[in-house]
Structure 1
Amino acid sequence: MSKIFFTDLDGTLLTKEKKVTPATMDALIKFTEAGNHFAISSGRSLDSVKSVQVENNLFFPGSYLIAYNGSQIYDCDAKKDVYRTGVPFDLVPQIFSLAKEHGIHCHTYSDEYLISPAEDEQLSYYRRVIHTPYIITDDICSALPDVPCKIIGIELHDRAKIDRFKAEVEKIAGDRLTLLYSNPYYLEIFNSEAGKGSAVIRLAKHLGIPHENTIAAGDEENDISMIEAAGLGVAMLNAVDIVKAVADVITETDNDNDGLVPILSDR
């Protein structure tokens, strides 16, 4: 019976230089050659995840890309989506209005562009790593051909300010949206039917893989649901404490020092 390995990118599969170590690559090759599946699970857009895949040559048979915190699941072999959902259109202008009121940078995404109302410090910081082309417009909805898979709020200097914004969005969204942090600066906003944990369950069911044959590794708050959902939940040594608290296993070394290798090699 085949297994499937779900992995976050930043702080997990990738080093601080945004690379995959040779030892980790060798372990991935052996894992997939044994007939197992590989799935990148990220908060990033699909375009950005594909860029990482190309830059690190992460092409294995039976691979999947999970983008926007589980809002989109892409089959690399079939070159099509297995699943896609988004933030309901009626909530999009309300979220951006609250962001403006609270002085929080927000942007969202189409399939081709990052869409932002402002070209500011936060957008520049985000695009140090994410190089998706962008559109600047006050009319966010007019630039969206479909419901956006995710909205992200960014605040680089005042955590209390973005926490207040988060609380206000939760009031208008009710149980329709999930809001959580992917790092101290980034607030992820996406459909509550998505989430990395839901993607684990959804993709494993799609492939007919039993729960006990699912493995998931991560380091940040937005990885908690997939670590809890998997048969084996793995926290990186460099993970935040709330991630370590829910994991079945904590790696002996961090993402810069082949932390995932024993996890893959022992399977």
Structure 2
Amino acid sequence: MRRKLLAMDLDGTAVCDDYSMGKLSREAIARARALGHIIAFVSGRRDIDMLTMGEEQWGVDYHILNTGGKILRCHDKNILYNKLITPEVCKSLITYCLNQGLQLQICSGLTWQVTCMTEETMEYAKDVGVIPEIIGSLNETDWQNGLEGFMATRDWDGVAEYIDAFLPQVYYVNSEPGCIDIMAAGISKWEGIQILAEHLGIRHEDIITAGNYYNDIDMLQHAAVGIAVANSLEPVKAEADYITENDNNHDAVAEIISKMLDHKFDIPLS
């Protein structure tokens, strides 16, 4: 049996809109893992965002977080890879947002800080179960050794303009409407998947990806098999090799794994 790596986006793909995972999907993941396949969540989420899933987050083998910038092995919580934004860039971006009154969310490990609070952020904090710390100066955050990433929501366009003009060392992607994730340049979901596959000795022909949004297109294009769930945006579906019948609220993951185990996604070795 050829061991496969199934790397699935989370929000809008592997989990329901309420952040839970359907029973059939959980059972399918357990069945695939028992047969020796590797299951990974690949997401723009940070560690703090994973708290919305509770213990369900640990039902897979790996987390590829920060849009590919961090790889975590679930069974022992060991970090295999973590590309940080340099201290100089962190200092510049945080200082600018503080001076301009722009909301910037600072995310590194389980640290979550904001330059100012918004109603939307507070509502999300209730889902996470953690209230972010509001900072008023650069000295209140630990930027000196670099940080994993940032996020911008309410003021994302102003933050993006500054990055475009002055910070080529980082880039941003739209992870959902009205939200950008900010990472070190050179990382992506597909880059993180490749790093994990190489670490595990899994060939390209055995990499399957699944997603639903713009920031998933790259990994769907480059994987041996790229899958769009039924609720995906049309540009995402256009790049997929397979589109599920079920959406994220109706166990699309179970459908994907069933077909994978039935060898529907097998690719001949080159």
TM-score, L = length of structure 2: 0.86
Deviation at 1:5, TM superposition (A): 0.9
Summarize the alignment of residues 85-100 of structure 1 with structure 2, pairs less than 5 Å apart: 85-99=83-97
Runs of 4+ in structure 1 off by over 3 angstroms are: 96-104, 161-165
C-alpha change, 1:70 and 1:110, in structure 2 (3 Å) is: same
CA contact (8 A) 2:246 2:255 kept: no
Deviation at 1:52, TM superposition (A): 1.9
The residue number in structure 2 matching 1:158 is: none
Deviation at 1:101, TM superposition (A): 6.6
- Match of 1:15, SS state, is coil
Summarize the alignment of residues 1-267 of structure 1 with structure 2, pairs less than 5 Å apart: 1-49=2-50, 52=53, 54=55, 56=56, 58-60=58-60, 63-99=61-97, 104-140=102-138, 142-144=140-142, 146-155=145-154, 162-163=156-157, 165-174=159-168, 176-267=169-260
- Match of 2:209, SS state, is strand
Over residues 127-184 of structure 1, what are the superposed CA-to-partner deviations in whole Å (9 max), with x where a residue is unaligned?
Answer: 24333442211234642263211100112xxxxx63354233122122x222111111
- Match of 2:182, SS state, is strand
Identity of aligned residues (%): 24
- Match of 1:181, SS state, is strand
CA contact (8 A) 1:98 1:169 kept: no
Worse-matched range after superposition: 45-54 or 237-246: 45-54
Deviation at 1:53, TM superposition (A): 5.4
Find the aligned partners of 1:113 and 1:237 in 2 and give their Cα distance. 34
Find the aligned partners of 2:82 and 2:201 in 1 and give their Cα distance. 19
Find the aligned partners of 1:241 and 1:100 in 2 and give their Cα distance. 38
CA contact (8 A) 2:7 2:209 kept: yes
Deviation at 1:95, TM superposition (A): 2.2
Over residues 68-113 of structure 1, what are the superposed CA-to-partner deviations in whole Å (9 max), with x where a residue is unaligned?
Answer: 1111101123431110012222122332344457664211123232
- Match of 1:163, SS state, is helix
Unaligned segments of structure 1, at least 5 residues: 156-160
- Match of 1:39, SS state, is strand
CA contact (8 A) 1:87 1:191 kept: yes
Find the aligned partners of 2:57 and 2:6 in 1 and give their Cα distance. 17
CA contact (8 A) 1:201 1:229 kept: no
CA contact (8 A) 1:116 1:140 kept: no
Find the aligned partners of 2:110 and 2:27 in 1 and give their Cα distance. 32
Worse-matched range after superposition: 129-138 or 17-26: 129-138
Unaligned segments of structure 2, at least 5 residues: 261-270
TM-score, L = length of structure 1: 0.87
Q: How large is the RMSD of aligned CA atoms in angstroms?
A: 2.2
One-letter amino acid of the structure 1 residue matched with residue 195 of structure 2:
R
Find the aligned partners of 1:126 and 1:147 in 2 and give their Cα distance. 25
C-alpha change, 1:164 and 1:118, in structure 2 (3 Å) is: closer
Worse-matched range after superposition: 39-48 or 130-139: 130-139
C-alpha change, 1:218 and 1:103, in structure 2 (3 Å) is: farther
